[in-house]
Amino acid sequence: MMAGKRILMLEGGPEKTMLQAPPAVFTSRTCALSPATRRLLESFGAWQNIEDMRYQEVKRMQVWDSSSDSMIAFNHKDLSNDLAYIVENCIIQDAILKQLETIEDRVSVKYDCRVQAYRLPSVNPNSDSQHLAEVHLSNGERLQTRLLIGADGFKSLLRETAKIHTVNWDYDQLGVVATVEVAEEMENNVAWQRFLKTGPIALLPLSPKHSNLIWSTSTKNGRNLLQLPHDSFVDAINRAFWTEDDKNPVADYASKTFDSLLTGVGLDGSSSQQLPPAVVGIEMSTRGGFPLGLCHATHYVGNRIALIGDAAHRVHPLAGQGVNLGFGDVTCLAEKLSNAVSNGCDLGAIDHLMEYETERQRQNVPVMLTVDALSRMYGSSFTPIVLARTLGLQAVNALSPVKKFFMDNAAAAS
């Protein structure tokens, strides 16, 4: 339906060409892509490019609490498909850009081309289609378009220019990332996440010998971690996965008692806990820190504009949902635009854009609230909260149908 339309993609940064695809060293910015995102990428050939480079399937996921021994494990057995796919961001981008090259008569990409300002029509395009949106570029050029799609990240200039109200807060946390080397070469397909008092630490599999670290911690601790010599950083990672210092004696006792109760009625609360691999090194120059925050745009659309990705919603990375929600926006917006074209409507008309907003907010807002609630609940050391989350986690782990419900929802998330 969109064959007659032309798309111009503006990127403020330089073109990033990989000297070698895939890069010799595993890069530390990765995303856990959901099966729904994989289906989207398959639909236009980008997944095949990822397969030709590299990715790692996640077959099992173990999440546990440092305040007690409570944990939840999701196995491949619980699902008919893989749980997620860990892919480096540069590989995702390269795979998509390769597909864009095959339709370069319709999609052009301009790099080093920052949008400096927008002039947005105040008139509803339904009533006067002559009012187009205007883009002012850093090179002095001015362009006009029927529809502007704001995919310009959580500091979106388009969102700001359109005066779209946001709800946002800063977690005062840094996401510290690195590519780490694990002790033994193994079938590395388990994602590990442990909730510490200061935030979750996660190891995501990349290859038999490598994993990706995403450690969300207080800004102060994060800055210290970034300064540590390599050996001390490796020690800090292992300590974070193994330390008993955070143990809450009340929650720990309740957890053990609850476990024997569950076992008594034939349910398995915590017996399948496994130990994460020890980290023995980190790849040079892969350590980095990223501030974490939440941002919710109360509207995703306006006259001739639609926001997608982090421009519309920014979430804590603890559930690996951020980019998946953005790809979900893409699927939904593409469908609405295609319908608009087939009905002979103006692409920037507000009616179908509103349908996009309603559908996506219905999907995204509950995910954002859940992720935020998890980050707050696990950030607390108040005993009743520690107790509630400990017993809740154990109960969900013991009840297979409830666990399957959670996993099916996570797999479909997009």
Question: Rounded to 5 degrees, what angle do the CA atoms 374, 376, 382 make?
Answer: 115
Binding segment for ligand FAD among 15-23, 95-103, 222-230, 321-329 (CB under 6 A)? 321-329
Least distance CB 413 / ligand FAD (angstroms): 9
Q: Tokens 């502007």, residue?
A: 148
Residue 32 or 386 with smaller CB distance to ligand FAD:
32
Residue 410 engages ligand FAD in binding (rule: CB under 6 A): no
**Chain residues 165-194 in contact with ligand FAD, contact rule CB under 6 A:** 175, 177
**Chain residues 103-142 in contact with ligand FAD, contact rule CB under 6 A:** 114-115
Least distance CB 115 / ligand FAD (angstroms): 4
Taking CB under 6 A as the criterion, the residue among 21, 36, 124, 153 binding ligand FAD is 153
**Chain residues 206-235 in contact with ligand FAD, contact rule CB under 6 A:** 214
Strand partners, 30: 88
With contact defined as beta carbons under 8 Å apart, do 250 and 383 qualify?
Answer: yes
Separation of alpha carbons 183 and 189, rounded Å = 15
Residue type, position 107, single letter: V
Least distance CB 227 / ligand FAD (angstroms): 18
In the sheet with 56-58, reading across from the earlier edge strand, the strands are: 30-33, 84-88, 56-58
Q: What is the DSSP annotation of 103-147? A: TTTTEEEESS--EEEEE---S-TTT-TT--EEEEETTS-EEEES-
Which residues have a Cβ under 8 Å from the Cβ of 371 and sit 6 or more positions away?
315, 316, 318, 319, 321
Taking CB under 6 A as the criterion, the residue among 323, 332, 350, 367 binding ligand FAD is 323
Write the DSSP symbol of residue 183.
S
Residue 56 engages ligand FAD in binding (rule: CB under 6 A): no
Binding mask 256-295 for ligand FAD (x = CB under 6 A): ----------------------------------x-----
Q: How many residues bind ligand FAD (CB under 6 A)?
A: 26
**Residues that bind ligand FAD in the complex, under the rule CB under 6 A:** 10-13, 31-32, 114-115, 151-153, 157, 175, 177, 214, 290, 309-311, 317, 320-324, 326
